[in-house]
Each structure stands twice: as C-alpha cells, then as structure tokens.
A and B are shown apart, each in its own frame.
Chain A
Amino acid sequence: MARTKGYPEALEKKLADTRLYEDERHPEFTKTVEKISMTIPHMCFQCGTCTASCPSAPRSSYRIRKFVRRSLLGLEDEALTDPDLWLCTTCYSCTDRCPRDIAPTDVIMAMRNLAFKRDIIPVNFLKTVQAIYTTGHGVPNNDVNRAARKKLGMHPDPPTTHRHPQYIKGIQYILDYFELKKNADRIVKEREG
C-alpha cells in the first residue's frame, strides 16, 4: 500500500506486469484438455467465428476464442480461475461453425471439469447438482408450471422423475458414484457455512 501513497488500489492493478512469461505455460494442460474434450484446440487460428457465434459474448465478458487460445498455450491458471469459464450456454453454435473443426464447447466443458477438481466452481452450479440429486431435475417443476400444464390439458407433472419418483434412486446412485453430491455439499458448506 505504501507504494501507491493513497491512490486507489485499482492503480496498482493497472500498473501490474501483465506480460506473458514462459513459466505460466503448462503444455500438459493442453494435452489434458484435448484428452478430456476429444477435440483439437491446438489447431485454433483465432479467426473469431466462435465468439461471433456465441449468444453469451454480446452481453457478457465471456470470450470463447480467448479460452481456446489459453488451452492452446497451456495457460492453466488463467483459464481455470477466470469466472467467465462458467458463462458458456453450451449451445454448440461455435462448434457448428468452427472452420478448423474444433469443438470449442467441449474445450470449455473439459476446462470446467478440471476447474471442479480444484474446487473452482460457482455455487449456483452446485445448487443445480443438489436439485438434480433430490428431484432428478436441474430446474424442478413448481406450482406455477403445474397450473399452466393443467390449463393446457396436460398432466401436472411431466413423465420424468416428477411423475415416477421411484427412479430418483438411480440418478442418486450415479451422482454418488462420481461423488458429485458429496463434493457439492462440501463446497457449498465451505462457502455459505
């Protein structure tokens, strides 16, 4: 603090050394991402078709092209700690149009997996895990929906675990097998107490 002599803290951030140093690069990160995603981010030539196709980019700071570049260079920390990683809607428009036939969406999914291993994940994603565990749905049915369905002449609950709650057990088995629920509960507890 002494150095900024009362200037706003932001200045220190502004004046920080932002150069890319070789020791930030982890070539094995590129390989790990390629293995999980089963696609080829190292072939990216940065044309921007992905970002331009992205429904998230125009209204957020999420830049899919930047993440593919980070996976190409092996910038593990920069990629995994960037909260933008969680702004992909997984619509797959970028994958449809990529001229180098990369699946950028799958690159994002792979990096999310790697981030989760380091407990880097927004709480709302974990709440979704908990919702799936208890109801079988990421977005469970509610009374408004039920009323609307009735009005349209449909059964109030869709023919899923909502109507057949006996199958929730199977879903819970899968989530338990990968310890997803356990980890979700643990992290939520750590963050929210």
Chain B
Amino acid sequence: MAEKRTKKEPAAKKETKKPAAAKSTAKAPAHAAAPAVSPEKSLAKEARVGVYICHCGTNIAGSIDIPAVQEYAKTLKNVAHVDNYQYMCSTPGQKKIETDIKEHKLTGIVVAACSPRLHEPTFRMATKMGGLNPFRFEMANIREQGSWVHMHDREGATAKAQDAIRIAVAKASLLQDLIPKSVPVEKAAMVVGAGIAGMQAALDLANAGIKTYLIEKNPTIGGRMSQLDKTFPTLDCSQCILTPKMVDVGRAANIELMTYAEVDAVEGYIGNFDVTIRRKARGVLTPAEAEAKGIVGGGCNGCGDCDVVCPVIKPNPFEMGMKPRKAIYIYHPQVVPLIYTVDFDSCVKCGLCVDACGDKKAIDLEMKDELVKVKVGTAVLALGYDMFPIEKKEEWGYNKYENVVNSLEFERLICASGPTGGHLVRPSDGVTPKKVAFLLCAGSRDNTGVGMPYCSRFCCMYSLKHAHQIIEKIPGVQPYIFYMDIRSFGKMYEEFYYRIQDEGAKFMRGRVANILENPDTKNLVINAEDTLLNRPISLEVDMVVLAAAVQPSEDTDRTRKLFGVSKSMDGWLLEAHPKLNPCGTTTAGVFLAGVCQGPKDIPDTVASAEGAASAASIPIHIGEVELEPYFAQCIEEKCAGCGMCVNLCPYSALALVEKDGRKVMQVTEAKCKGCGTCGGFCPGGAIWMQHFATPQVVAQIDAFLLGGEQ
C-alpha cells in the first residue's frame, strides 16, 4: 500500500501546491514594493545611535578598558548615547536599550558584546520592545574576536574594540526598517537513514501527526543495531527490543517507508524542500506494486522460493561477509519490509527465480531505478556510521591474521542468529577459543593521521559486554581487556564495569604495540606493557577482537552536501551549537539524529533522535517560518535587464520579467538567501542587498580605513 501511495501522491501534491507557490512568488514584489521603489532614499533620515558596552563579567572587562572604550564611543559621529553594563543580555541590560530608545529618540542600536550568533536575537528583541524596527540593531563582537583572542594584550584589545564599535556605528547609522517574510511550511517531514535513530525520529514525527518519509539505502530498516547481539548494560537482546520498533515503523500510517532508496537531489529551503529520491531497482514487486500492475494476489510475500533456486552465491554484508547470500536475497529473517531484493551487480538473469515465483509474478529482472519527488517542510539526517578500516593499523594484523576480528564481526559470531548460531569459534579452525583478548581504542584516540583522533565512545562498554558474553557461553574462558582508560560514563555503566571485573575479566592497562601470529597454531602473541606493573607483557591468546573506531558512513558526505550541512574537523556532521543546539544544523529546517553527529551509544542515539524529531516538528506545527529579510532587491530604474545575475544565482531565486515595456530582474524572496553573489556582480549597481547594502558596507569599510572620516 505504502509504495503505491508514494508514486501517486507526490504528483498530486505538486499540482495542488504549485498555485500556492506561484502565488507567493507573485505576491513577493508587491510585498517588497515599499523599500524596492527606492531603497536608497530610505537612508536619508538623521541618525541617532545608542552604543552599549557589555562587560560580560570579566570576559570582556578583564582584558578591555571599558571606560576608555566608552569615552571613545562618545566622540563618534551620529552617536547620541553611550552606556555600559555588567551583563547587557540580562533583563536590566535589555531594559536600558528599551528605555533609552524613547528617551534619546534613537534610530539605531549598537551593542558591543559577544558574537551575534549568541545574542543578536536577544538584542533585536530589546530593540523591538523599545519601539524600533529590530533590524536597526548592529552587534560589535568584542568578546570572541576581541577580549578572548587578545587576552594578554589589553591595549591592543581595547583599540580593536574601539575599531569594532566605530565600524558598527557607521553601519547602524544607515540601517533601514526591514520586515521579515513568512512562508508556509509543508506539513510533512523526511528522515534519511532508518537505523535506530532514523526509526525513532520517524516514529516520533509520525506520532505527532506529521506525514513522514523514511528513506533507507539498504533493503531493510534496522541499521547497525539489528546486527548487534546484546546491548549493554542491561544485556537486552538487541533484536528483541528492535524488531517491535521495526514493525511499528512498517505499520505506522503516517510513515511512508522507502527502503533501497537514496536522496538524489534537494531543492528549496525550510518549509519547502523539494526532495528527489532515487528508488533503486529492486527487481521485486511489493504486493501493492503488483496490484497496481493488475497482478491479483501477486507480489513478494517473502516466501523465499526464489532464494532456494538462485545459483549465484555472494557474501552477506549484514553478516560481515561471514555467511552466504544469493543474488536475490534478504539480509535476515526479521527484515522490514519482508521483500526480497535482486543484486543486479551479481545477477546472471538466468530466470530461475522468476519461474520459482510463479503466479505471484513478483520478480521483474528488467526493473530500472525510479525517481520520486516529494515535498517536505523539514528533514532529519540519521546517516549512521561505518567501522574504521582497522587493517590500516598494520601492527594489529587485521585481514592478515585469520583470528583477528573486529567487534562487529564478533557481534555476528556471538549472535544466536549469526553464521555460527551463536557459538563463538575461531575463523581459522572453527575451534572455540579459551583465551580472548579485546583491544580497546583500536584506531580511536590516534593522532598519527592513520586512525581517528576522537574517542569512539561506546567501545569500552561493548567490549565489557563481549567479555561477559564469552564468560557466559564458554566455560573456562579467559577474557583479557587491553585498555588505556575505561570510560563507563552512563547510567549503570560503572556498575556494569564492576560486574564484569567480578565475573573474571582481566583488565590490562596498556595499549597493544603489535600482534604476531604463530603460523602453526594460528594463535596470536600480543605484545603490550602492563603500565601498572611497569613490565612488558607477551601474551599468547586464541583470538583477538579489535574494538575498531567508528567513522561517518560511506554516503554521509554526499548526502550532507545535498542538504547543505557542514561537517566538523573529525568528519562528523556539524551541529548548530555543540551544547545548546546539538540537533540543529546551520541549514534551517535540517536536523541531525544519532551517530552521524558524533559517536553515541544506543540510549544517547535515541535521545538525540527524539530531540531531532521534536525540533523538526516545531516549524511544521507552527505552520509558517519567518525568513530573515536579507533579500536582494532590484532598483528597477538602474536595471538594464542584462540577466547576468539570473545565471549567477545559486538558488534560482532571480528571473527577468517584463515591466513597463522593458526587462527587469525580479527576486523570489522566499528563495533568496541573501548570499550577495548577484549584488556584488551587477555591473549597473542595480541590486540592493537588504541589510548589507552597498552604502552600509562602504560606510563600514570607510569607518575602518579612514578612522571614521567619510
């Protein structure tokens, strides 16, 4: 059913939405008409600027001479009032602005304090409360770019603060009234990635009454969590707690699940993202798709008859390649949706499966990729992680020695539904290991440029759990855990550490230097130092498990670029603020859930997903978003209609229109991001960038270069 809807609805939606979009475009010039007629003239009014200098406790006052800055500000042109306060962002600080606007008849406000990223909205609100247009406020950053970076140069920092204020006053003298524009928000959301983070986010959004498109690149949802055997510290079976959620996702009326699909293109902005989804050719029809084709009672029911006859054998990536699958396959019996998938890279098109499928006619070996367009208001990225290719750290012999495995392979080997039915065996000879070493920080906390500099955060805990699992399953087994620090930071985690130590795991405080293989027995000799005894160790074990670092999943970079999301230095996606806005991004309307923002264990991932879902639902529930009015405007009397700006605009926001018998440029304000590309290029100077207009910017430059003389 779900699949059928996908194809029809977007088309229908497009038709219904088009007029609305067209209307808002048509309305835009009328709305902009007031300033657009002659924006330059609106600057003519006499300017009276109020300047406020914040101490920020000692953050600013500790390295900047506030009285000196205040005295200096009084000498500046257009400055009608100067004041300072301990914390300008506090209620009394804001009150000063509100009362002074009336008392001193101010036309512009400058606050010299922190970064506008922190408190620009605060002071805009204060400006508005005082009766001025909020865009008549300008911030001078004298903290992040002043006192903090010149902490030991009081004189220099003070001089720089004076420069910053002079520049801000120059701009504030020329600021105009601007009116933010509201656009309607599409009442639908998209979640990219259907691991535990994506599933949780989608379920929350759907339960909040929002139509949610859940996109997953694999044939099934479930992600990494479905590969795990047990979860720490409660030792819940991972599948047992996950599969009910997977079924919920499959059933939820508000979730439109698209597996084996990826995001192909994203256009638009918050409230109105047009997303193109590539539904990869699956080669198998769902019952709904079959019905649409007129095959009554047909489509894949997951019987597996095709699997039996398929002659092509490939490694199953879900089992880390340790179990075979056919060219027509499902990852494991609990997949959602329970629909087979043809791997067209290895399919020989012998047609045996088609025959086996019989009257259900579910298999179509000629199927092609399909592009589907949907419109959503907000999007949540839950792109997940991959294991770091630990063979790059050659000293540990992964991929060289058979009995060195990574932790995800261990999860499959110890899992009851895994390739060995949950009996841990050595890959070299199938024998049950009696001595197993777990290497923590394998590729994490590594500053050599080979591994990852960060802590992967959940390896300590899952390695403790691994030790528990072998103690539970193998009588007489001895786990050794080679660690630098055990980071058991979560609720009941330290207690879990206590429990595992009590169960008999031996903790060796030292990082392993190298591993050598005994070629006869395939046993492994570990060289490390017991740093607590101050003695080198040589330890022969049967098997080694590398708790390899995690890194952003393969597709992360491509997808994040489509949504215009940045990444931080370590490769994980960049949140809007690491503490106060961990789910948001710098692209309005796009949110992050789970590990793609940075390594997280399952509880943190679920919490992050719920946060992202909540954040993504806010604009949808409000129904409209306010765009900052930093739009380009055409000064029509100057426009020659050359159209060069139209081609330059990266957001397709500009167009040439006929007006009074000649061509002029017109801006679709909702699409314009105020990047200024057109304004900087226009040969006739006919483009007015609101809030960053040429006279305003030139005044700032003059104020800096000429020290205030203009």
Binding site for B on A (CB under 8 A): 43, 45-54, 57-58, 63, 65-66, 93, 97-101
Contacts and interface: CB of A to CB of B under 8 A. Distances in A.
Q: Is the interface of B mostly helix, strand, loop or mixed?
A: loop
28 contacts: A43-B447, A45-B445, A45-B484, A47-B511, A47-B531, A48-B509, A48-B528, A48-B529, A48-B530, A49-B510, A49-B511, A52-B510, A52-B512, A52-B513, A52-B528, A52-B536, A53-B513, A53-B514, A53-B527, A58-B536, A63-B534, A97-B395, A97-B514, A99-B441, A99-B445, A99-B448, A101-B447, A101-B449
A51 B536 contact: yes
Given A45-B445, A47-B510, A99-B446, 10 more contacts: A47-B531, A48-B510, A48-B511, A49-B528, A51-B529, A53-B513, A57-B529, A57-B536, A63-B534, A99-B448
B538 interface: yes
B514 to A, nearest CB: 7
B107 to A, nearest CB: 54
A128 to B, nearest CB: 27
B536 A54 contact: yes
Contacts of B513: 48-50, 52-53, 93, 97
B529 A65 contact: yes
Interface of B: 395, 441, 445-449, 451, 484, 509-514, 527-531, 534, 536-538
Contacts of B528: 48-49, 52
A152 to B, nearest CB: 31
B64 to A, nearest CB: 30
B447 A52 contact: no
Contacts of A52: 510-514, 527-529, 536-537
Contacts of B395: 97
5 closest Cβ contacts across the A-B interface?
A48-B529, A52-B513, A47-B511, A48-B510, A51-B529
Given A97-B513, A101-B447, A101-B449, A47 B527 contact: no
Q: Is the interface of A mostly helix, strand, loop or mixed?
A: helix
Contact of B448 (A48, A53, A101): A101
B531 A99 contact: no
A55 to B, nearest CB: 10
A54 to B, nearest CB: 7
Contacts of A98: 448
A99 B451 CA distance: 9
Nearest to B508: A48
A54 B535 CA distance: 11
Contacts of A66: 534
A190 B419 CA distance: 73
Contacts of B448: 98-99, 101
Contacts of B529: 48-52, 57, 65
A12 B614 CA distance: 69
B536 A47 contact: no
Q: Which of A47, A48, A50, A99 has the most CB of B within 10 A?
A: A48
A100 B447 contact: yes
A124 B531 CA distance: 31
B452 to A, nearest CB: 11
Nearest to B532: A48
A43 B447 CA distance: 11
A88 B618 CA distance: 64
A46 B446 CA distance: 13
A51 B538 CA distance: 12
A68 to B, nearest CB: 12
A58 B510 contact: no
Nearest to B534: A63
Contacts of B537: 52
Contacts of A54: 536
A45 B537 CA distance: 19
A99 B511 contact: yes
A50 B514 CA distance: 11
Nearest to B531: A48
Contacts of A47: 441, 484, 510-511, 531
Nearest to A64: B529
Contacts of A49: 510-513, 528-529
Contacts of A63: 534
Contacts of A48: 509-511, 513, 528-531
A93 B395 CA distance: 11
A83 to B, nearest CB: 17
Contacts of A65: 529, 531
Q: Which of A51, A54, A100, A101 has the most CB of B within 10 A?
A: A51
B447 A99 contact: yes
A65 to B, nearest CB: 7
Nearest to A98: B448
A11 to B, nearest CB: 23
A99 B527 CA distance: 15
A45 B511 CA distance: 11
A58 B539 CA distance: 13
A66 to B, nearest CB: 7
Contacts of A51: 529, 531, 536
Contacts of A97: 395, 513-514
A80 B538 CA distance: 29
A57 B528 CA distance: 11
A85 to B, nearest CB: 16
Nearest to B449: A101
B538 A58 contact: yes
Nearest to B510: A48
Contacts of B447: 43, 99-101
A93 B394 CA distance: 13
A93 B528 CA distance: 13
A30 to B, nearest CB: 19
B563 to A, nearest CB: 34
